[in-house]
Structure 1
């Protein structure tokens, strides 16, 4: 949003002059890439649009190589983006970290008397797809870039802005990497522990395969007395487990009765009969949060004394495991019916330790990792919100 006075809402101390309106073409050298026919086989990097999917801010690698005229290489410190096709709409803008040849579907802007990082964030925020020619195939050409209006502060303020935002972007990227590492660690540990490849010291007894009904029974409790209101309606997410439907999905239950909904208590296990793409036979989760109610699309199971039920939620956390468990139990009576009857869900076999102590130790370990993941997700969201705020308030 443009400030009529050309002064951003938030500024570094010591800067008060209004930003100046300029033409983008006066502050960049514009280059487009070259078609593959201009090159021969070689080992020099050749940047294509699909390479932008494997980076965030900085572009330092490509899957493609060629050999060509060195004068046609795009210099490091250039800002690159797609100039033709639907990829324009994704607004993937990158800073080239090393010299590369470039495909004809891409454009590079090399800053002139302008801070690289400032210009990068300015172009990312402007989203140049809005100036693309869309009469046939979307494309951006020199005629769009040269006259495009931008707003610039003095070079020193540009440098301050660019430095802060690039540091923040690097911090976000580092936290994203850490979050992915934690999720990968959790997945690895779940595979190793439930395969019994990894065991706690002092525990050597083999786990027994038992039918799920050894650990659970079908719960028939309904919300007939209206103990739970519509703010307590729960749903099941493949990624996030049991969630509050209003808070998670913004669903409204105005005018709809929930008296026939099943009660899902804390530590109850729930099976959703609504198949998803990654879970064609449904999802099995343990309710680790507050008690609530679920619609008739769900089946609820109460734990017996033989199980610390959170372990079943972790056991069925992997899509492949829950699909392999439910597939043989699918109702074959109706054409294309992928659902499993409530009682039939309990007929499959699982392999978990009989010892409640071992079950709890496993769950405590995974809970610790879950808490680390949640804490890093919160931190990452805060950093992204901070960056969003700065982008909205430190630019004209």
Structure 2
């Protein structure tokens, strides 16, 4: 085995050592506490779910609290925590260092305390990004829920350099984390800004003008029945057995139209399908109350969907791009909800005819175009920060992969 990494900081030349984690750490288990125990004040608490929803290499502070129980396990400030259960083997093989004392470590957490040879941040990084991650994932057991025990972690082969080199690696990774956090905050601010502007730049229920408006536009928005402005199309497709078809679906929370699969015509059991074109506005009749709608991008032009979807196109009264923005507003979400019927929120059926009778305020095509252009630029900014985030995360992972044995 090569005990020298591909990338190394200048000044470090000694070969790395390798031992079982059980020889290098002591082990404990988090005790008690669940999400139901969280309250506004009390002792600070970490639950295993944090490693999935808000993963950090190093946890310095927490914003969840609980009433202290007898027998609780408190951190000393040099622990490493690994979730004991999760949905997949890949997800569960992650770790965070806890660098603050007196935090309660809740149930379903494996707790490692590294010895003097190891830096806690480094241990968390190797378990999350190094070969230990792959080895630990292989040891996860279970189907619908997978589990990892302290014995599994203790048996993992763990390569490590001197503590000084470990700290240098940890410092680089934590610097990446600071950059990632900075861009995440910028991204989050733009997302919140878009949501706020959607509220302000569209009239509220019953109003005829929005609170915020571009200069030069003074005419009230016209109340129109949705059936008067909605241009619904159904481009029937004759399914051929030997031809391949691209199937699509819409993601919830207005997250867009995406490819679902590519299949042969013979594998499509229900033949009542329609073709999509670039710029169509697609609505899922079963997911519309969950924001299941979006514009069809050029990459999915020619794809097909069943009659479980409603396809709208732009016309002289309203553009398809404006439909997409309108569908993110509370007013339109209310229309979708009031026209959906059923008992179970997950199984509501959208009544298109009922929806067509509802009213919505729309401006002139010129003002629509101005609004769409503004939100297009805002979406470009959001996408830019999203790409920067992805780039930084990928760069961090690539660097660490080369810096570990």
What SS class does the counterpart of residue 65 from structure 2 fall into?
A: coil
CA radius of gyration, larger in: 1
Other-structure match for 2:229? 215
What SS class does the counterpart of residue 350 from structure 1 fall into?
A: strand
Is contact 1:222–1:259 with CA below 8 Å preserved after alignment? Answer: no
Other-structure match for 2:351? 340
- Kindly state the Cα deviation for residue 207 of structure 1 after the two structures are TM-superposed: 1.9
TM-score (norm 2): 0.73
* Counterpart selection for 2:395 from 368, 383, 386: 386
* Counterpart selection for 1:164 from 164, 169, 172: 172
Deviations 1:19-39 (A, max 9, x none): 222233454455555679xxx
What RMSD over aligned residues (CA atoms) do the two structures have, in Å? Answer: 4.2
Distance 1:131 1:361, change over 3 A: same
Residues 210-249 of structure 1: pairs in structure 2 closer than 5 A = 210-222=224-236, 235-238=249-252, 239-243=254-258, 245=259, 249=260
Distance 1:55 1:329, change over 3 A: closer
> Which segments of 5 or more consecutive residues in structure 2 lack a partner in the other structure?
34-40, 205-209
Other-structure match for 2:302? 292
* Counterpart selection for 2:380 from 371, 376, 391: 371
* Counterpart selection for 1:121 from 118, 125, 130: 125
What SS class does the counterpart of residue 305 from structure 1 fall into?
A: coil
Deviations 1:117-142 (A, max 9, x none): 222201334345766798xx95634x
Give, in whole Å, the separation in 1 of the partners of 2:50 and 2:267. Answer: 49
- Kindly state the Cα deviation for residue 173 of structure 1 after the two structures are TM-superposed: 3.1
Deviations 1:225-268 (A, max 9, x none): 99xx957765433343234x3xxx34334656999754434443
Is residue 269 from structure 1 mapped to residue 278 from structure 2 by the alignment?
Answer: no
What SS class does the counterpart of residue 304 from structure 1 fall into?
A: coil
Deviations 1:326-371 (A, max 9, x none): 3454589xxx881435x66544322222x22211121112111111
Is residue 5 from structure 1 mapped to residue 2 from structure 2 by the alignment?
Answer: yes
TM-score (norm 1): 0.74
Other-structure match for 2:365? 356
- Kindly state the Cα deviation for residue 74 of structure 1 after the two structures are TM-superposed: 2.5
Distance 1:160 1:223, change over 3 A: same
Number of matched pairs: 368
Give, in whole Å, the separation in 2 of the partners of 1:113 and 1:301. Answer: 64
Is contact 2:247–2:263 with CA below 8 Å preserved after alignment? Answer: no
